[in-house]
Amino acid sequence: MGEVRVAVLGVGAMGADHVARLATRTAGARVVVVSDLVTERAEHVAASVPGCRVVADPLDAIADPEVDAVLLATPGAAHEKQLVACLELRRPVLCEKPLTTDVASALDVVTREVALGSRLIQVGFMRRFDDEYVALESLLDSGDLGRPLLLHCVHRNATAAPGFDAAMILRDSLVHEIDVTRFLFGEEIAAVQIITPTPNPGAPIGVRDPLIALLRTESGRHVDVELFVTTGVGYEVRTEVVGERGSAMIGLDVGLVRRSTTGRWGGQIPAGFRERFARAYDTQLQRWVDAVRSGAGTDDQVDGPCAWDGYAAAAVCAAAVESLETGERVAVRLADRGMLSGAGG
Ligand code: ISE
């Protein structure tokens, strides 16, 4: 395959970022079609890319004869239908999380992909492409820390979008730590409990923020996550693994440390996830495009988290939302992966 001709569906902030990334920083790809519910937004983004057209209906965009692959940055509720269309037409697709908005439809998508016998769906858990997470995973693989035993995560946002409630903190923010846990520990999460401490007075009325999530993996490892999305400070994501022979931490933001004439020293806190993970998003897209090109005509056009990873994360999120309501530890209900032989991975 020469250049991969991509349709980007959903060109809000994230989708528009991906269009710019594909157009200016990704080798071997070209954005040929964009689609968005808001026509003016689609037209504005299309105008920034030579040769790019607007196709109003997302399903028409997927089926467009000029399109080789699809990037989904539409709202989660639209994903199921769009993913099914991609599978039916055998279009490789990079899908921003969530895979779908509920566990049953996520499993249905996984099952359909398995039935095709091809790996076409990649899920946008971009942290797996971040240099620091990759370094942490390599350290664990090297065995230098011995067996990893504990994972401590901090996930803080300065502000949350209007309407963001506690369940969304779990589905939108915790979901990344769920994927990080599965990525670093290489096993599924078996149970989850959500603890609701005294809320931040600065959080919108009725929104329980911060939250603490306690995860337990299948082999019994413990993971704790602080989720705090109205800190007013900046984007802070820290991850510490404690092993048999030491510990390791990432996310300390120790890039440039400046000493100034005011007698202060310090660095910069990224404003948000798009700044913090900018390079990871670039790497993710380049690797996806490379996988689509080199995998053309084969059964594997994915290089990164797959449909199963999206489904497994959705199953843990569902258990977390249940625990938010009851306060109890909730077991994660996962399908038997062995029965779905070939399901990603
Ligand atoms: C957002 O959707 C993300 O994906 C960010 O990584 C996360 O930090 C934020 O809390 C979510 O709302």
List the chain pLDDT tens, one digit each, 345 residues: 899 999 999 999 999 999 999 999 999 999 999 999 999 999 999 999 999 999 999 999 999 999 999 999 999 999 999 999 999 999 999 999 999 999 999 999 999 999 999 999 999 999 999 999 999 999 999 999 999 999 999 999 999 988 899 999 999 999 999 999 999 999 999 999 999 999 999 998 888 999 999 999 999 999 999 999 999 999 999 999 999 999 999 999 999 999 999 999 999 999 999 999 999 999 999 999 999 999 998 999 999 999 999 999 999 999 999 999 999 999 999 999 988 865 444
Residues 213/340, Cβ–Cβ less than 8 Å: no
Give the distance, in angstroms, between the CA of residue 164 and the centroid of all CA atoms in the same chain. Answer: 18
d(CA 61, CA 76): 18
Is residue 74 in contact with ligand 1, taking CB distance under 6 Å?
no
Pocket test for ligand 1, best of 153, 227, 273, 281 (most atoms within 8 A of CB): 273
Structure tokens at 283: 């790497």
What pLDDT, in 10s, does the model give residues 3-14? 999 999 999 999
173 Cα–ligand 1 center, Å: 5
What's the pTM value of the predicted model, to 2 decimals?
0.96
Position in ligand 1 atom list of the atom nearest CA 229: 10
Domains of the chain, each with CATH number or no CATH: 4-127+278-305 (3.40.50.720), 128-272 (3.30.360.10)
Position in ligand 1 atom list of the atom nearest CA 161: 12
- Give the residue, by CA position, lying nearest to ligand 1 atom 9: 173
For Cα atoms 55, 60, 65, give the angle at the middle one, nearest 5 degrees. 95
Pocket test for ligand 1, best of 18, 127, 176, 179 (most atoms within 8 A of CB): 176
Find, among 281, 293, 302, the residue nearest to 128 by Cα. 281
The per-residue pLDDT for 114 is 97
Find, among 78, 46, 75, the residue nearest to 59 by Cα. 78
